[in-house]
Structure 1
Amino acid sequence: MQMRLWAYILCGFLLAGCAGGDTAGDNYGGVSHLHPDNRRSEVYGGEKGQKRADKSQQFGFFRHQKSPIMGDRSARRHPPVMDRKKLARDIGRLSTDLPNVNDAAVLVTDDEVLVAYESDTDNRELTADQVRKTAISVVPSFYHVYVSDNKMLIRDVETLSSLNTQNENATETIDAVIREMRKSPQGFRPGKGSKGGMESGR
């Protein structure tokens, strides 16, 4: 009987010790050792009354590790794909943010960018240079960029959007439009009014 009483008393002490809850975490401001910044919404995306930082102010970060499994080729089955429609949209928006550019039609293929725009500029070469460099800043460096302030070509570039890489005559049709675009100013070349820059054209 006395042993059972001592067992009850011992259990009571143990339960009293656990009743304090997770007070150790409170001593550290609720920060866990596994994720010391788990209260920072800008790091882990939690909101909890805190306003998220503007996306335009954030850095882009991603960490990817090779699979530890020998011979695992699953990543190769899903190669990264470039969103050409988004690239075209971004180039168009940035182009119309430029002075004197009021309208822009943009086509992005697998290695070319065509920008036909309407402008009221007095300096066609300067505006062409700005539009070309805008496109260059968005796409990979192997792309060829063609620009034209001939507003009649806006419709032609828009028509090309119905094509894709599987169309048999896509290359010939695009090349025909490019030939017309090259009759317009293409911007400055290195050593001719601008510093550096990737040359457009093939």
Structure 2
Amino acid sequence: MYKKFAFVLLLCTLVMSACGTSDQEAGDEQEQIRNELDPTRNDDTPNTFEEENRLGYVHYTKDQLRNNNENNHAVTMDRHKMADMISRIILRNDGFEEVATLVTDKEVLIAYGKSDGLDKNLAADIAKKSAVSVMPKYFHVYVSDNESLIPQIHSLHNSNTMQGASYQNTIQSIIKEMKKSPQGIENENK
């Protein structure tokens, strides 16, 4: 009798611990997503006045660039940091309540909530100029005060640019919806 009871107890313990692991992993995954989207995470703001005002400078010779490591070097952009920077710049302006920014390989999508006192066209101007001021010129910037687009943009935050037709269709659908809103003044230099 004791052996049967011990066996049942052991079996229940194993089953319960297996379920707990998957729940823990799901909780860890949710926590990771929350941390990635936390605007205070990785706050790279310089700590001192000296660091904030330091100039950027490098100097290389041709020989230094000829080594194997340099041949494999590729210029990259941290899209998350760019989206973070754009959102922070926009929110520093009066009248903006929330901003969601998505940076892809070709587009910047910005959806925002604004106060009633902020003119729609002025808000679009501010949002677009904020993005254009930090992004390379070849990026297309789309803005919208349609707050219902914020969850749609959020749904793409874990995507990558290599996900195929479904991803592209979603992006194009969001852009089509954004174009219904004022887009700000077009840049004359384009």
Q: When the two structures are superposed, what TM-score results if normalisation uses the length of structure 2?
A: 0.68
Q: Residue 57 of structure 1: CA displacement?
A: 1.8
Aligned to 1:175: 172
Q: 1:67 aligns with which of 63, 72, 76?
A: 63
Q: 1:116 to 1:197 in 2, by over 3 A?
A: farther
Match of 1:90 among 75, 85, 106: 85
1:184 aligned residue (150, 157, 181) = 181
So what's the TM-score if we normalise by structure 1? 0.64
Larger displacement relative to structure 2 (146-155 or 116-125): 116-125
Q: CA contact under 8 A between 1:133 and 1:197: conserved in structure 2?
A: no
Write the mapping of 1:32-181 to structure 2, written as runs, cut at 5 A.
53-67=49-63, 72-120=67-115, 121-168=117-164, 169-181=166-178
Q: Quick one: which amino acid aligns to residue 91 of structure 1?
A: I
CA distances 1:107-150 after superposition (whole Å, capped 9, x unpaired): 00111100100001441101100110000111111111000011
CA–CA distance in 1 between the matches of 2:64 and 2:156? 45
Relative contact order higher in (CA < 8 Å, ≥ 6 apart): 2
Give how far 1:52 is off.
6.0
Rounded to whole Å, the distance in 2 between the matches of 1:79 and 1:158 is 28
Structure 1, gaps ≥5 residues long: 1-50, 191-195
**Whole-Å separation in 1 of the counterparts to 2:189 and 2:147:** 25
Give unpaired runs (5+ residues) of structure 2.
1-46
Q: Deviations over 1:32-60 (max 9, x none)?
A: xxxxxxxxxxxxxxxxxxx9643332222
Identity of aligned residues (%): 35
How many equivalent pairs are there? 142
Kept in 2, the 8 Å contact 1:126–1:188? The answer is no
Mark the structure with the bigger radius of gyration. Answer: 1
Q: CA deviation at 1:62?
A: 1.9
Say which SS state the counterpart of residue 146 (structure 1) adopts.
strand
- CA RMSD for the aligned pairs? 2.1
Specify which structure has the higher proportion of helix. 2
Structure 2 CA distance for partners of 1:68 and 1:122, relative to 1, 3 Å: closer
